[in-house]
């Protein structure tokens, strides 16, 4: 591993990525980075962050059906869960 520059960690656990490294990795404001661990140390890579839904398409259809129905009111979470499972 070639060491290009060093940086100090602040009291908040932050570091400034040296300008030369930012240029080599083409890091600009707003770029997301991933940290990995290898036998040699930490690996820093530019990455793309994508959001992943916590729901399956089947669950989304149920949610959309509930959202489109009007006047539905549940006293407790058990009643709401029963209704969702019945859809």
- Residue 75 pLDDT: 67
> Which of 12, 10, 11, 4 is CA-nearest to residue 41?
4
- Per the CB < 8 A criterion, the answer to whether 82 and 75 are in contact is no
- Per the CB < 8 A criterion, the answer to whether 43 and 37 are in contact is yes
Name the pTM for this structure. 0.51
CATH number 3.40.50.12500 is the correct assignment for the domain at 1-50: no
Please compute the mean of the pLDDT values over residues 24-45 and round it to a whole number.
Answer: 90
**Residues carrying CATH 2.10.260.10, the chain:** 1-50
- Residue 19 pLDDT: 92
Please compute the mean of the pLDDT values over residues 29-54 and round it to a whole number.
Answer: 87
If DSSP codes are grouped into helix, strand and coil, which group holds residue 78?
A: helix
* Structure letter (DSSP) for residue 48: -
- Residue 77 pLDDT: 72
């Amino acid at each position: 591993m070639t060491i290009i520059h060093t940086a100090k960690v602040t009291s908040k656990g932050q570091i400034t990525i040296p300008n030369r490294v930012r240029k080599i990795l083409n890091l600009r404001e707003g770029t997301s980075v991933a940290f990995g661990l290898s036998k040699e140390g930490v690996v820093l890579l530019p990455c793309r962050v994508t959001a992943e839904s916590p729901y399956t398409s089947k669950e989304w259809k149920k949610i959309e059906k509930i959202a489109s129905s009007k006047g539905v009111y549940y006293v407790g979470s058990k009643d709401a869960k029963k209704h969702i499972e019945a859809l």
